[in-house]
């Protein structure tokens, strides 16, 4: 199954400084049919105004990946971690046994990002935060694992049976991604793509649309225009 979830049908929230769109139930958006996708629990598309952000707040037992689309986000937490993650890069936070953190847009213009939560396969691990400046050109024409609990070399580790991939495709380029029937969810951060599974019928997705995939051995992703793609593979929940 491959299901298109158009951006204009997502849950929405507007707090002035924060404009958010929810692919899954979150905060005041409650959709019983969209609580998770495998062990993927949250995929929010946040736009954060300059000189604003999320004040200190707690998390527990969740793998939280932030993929920055434009601008930058500045992190600080009670463990003493501080850092700035810019467009095209990710940060990973294992909330584990508990972490208090804050996220701010200290830039002169709006920051846009994907905030992605994956249910962990271990409870009560030590909390941690990490960011890595992955070379953007290494993702040209392919999907590269940036965070993974599946042993991908060079990826930030996750306490989860899942992996986050990102890549860029020029118009007309296509790639294949092996899934082995497990759930996957992908969103073009920019551009238009076509996703084709075993039935040979392409599903067209525009920037910020979600594409939910399951029970596919492999998918083909073709760029209909220059595109930046983020894809999360997870395990199935019992």
Q: How far apart are CA 37 and CA 231, in angstroms?
A: 12
Position 159 in a domain: no
* Total domains, the chain: 1
Determine the pLDDT at residue 236: 87
Residue 75 sits in a domain whose CATH number is 2.60.120.10
Residues 32-88: tens digit of each pLDDT: 999 999 999 999 999 999 999 999 999 999 999 999 999 999 999 999 999 999 999
- Angstrom distances, CA of residue 33 to CA of 5, 36, 70: 12, 8, 30
Residues 197-215: tens digit of each pLDDT: 999 999 999 999 999 999 9
**Which residues span the domain enclosing 113?**
10-134
Position 62 in a domain: yes
Q: How far apart are CA 78 and CA 99, in angstroms?
A: 7
Q: How far apart are CA 124 and CA 103, in angstroms?
A: 23
Q: Could you tell me the pTM of the whole model?
A: 0.95
Position 148 in a domain: no
Position 235 in a domain: no
Position 191 in a domain: no
């Amino acid at each position: 199954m491959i299901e298109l979830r158009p951006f204009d049908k997502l849950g929405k929230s507007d707090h002035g400084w924060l404009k958010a769109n929810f692919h899954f139930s979150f905060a005041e958006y409650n959709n019983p049919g969209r609580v998770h996708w495998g062990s993927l629990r949250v995929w929010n598309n946040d736009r954060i105004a300059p000189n604003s952000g999320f004040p200190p707040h707690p998390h527990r037992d969740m793998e939280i990946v932030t993929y920055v689309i434009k601008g930058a986000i500045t992190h600080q937490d009670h463990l003493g971690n501080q850092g700035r993650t810019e467009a095209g890069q990710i940060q990973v936070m294992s909330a584990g046994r508990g972490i208090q953190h804050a996220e701010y847009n200290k830039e002169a213009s709006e920051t846009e990002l994907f905030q992605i939560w994956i249910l962990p396969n271990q409870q009560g691990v030590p909390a941690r935060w990490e960011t890595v400046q992955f070379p953007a050109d290494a993702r040209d024409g392919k999907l590269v694992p940036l965070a993974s609990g599946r042993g991908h070399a060079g990826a930030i580790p996750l306490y989860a049976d899942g992996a986050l991939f990102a890549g860029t495709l020029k118009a007309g380029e296509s790639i294949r991604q092996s899934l082995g029937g497990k759930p996957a969810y992908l969103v073009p951060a920019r551009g238009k793509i076509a996703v084709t599974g075993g039935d040979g019928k392409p599903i067209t997705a525009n920037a910020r649309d979600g594409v939910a995939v399951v029970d596919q051995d492999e998918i083909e992703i073709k760029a209909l225009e220059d595109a930046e793609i983020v894809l999360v593979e997870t395990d199935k929940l019992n």
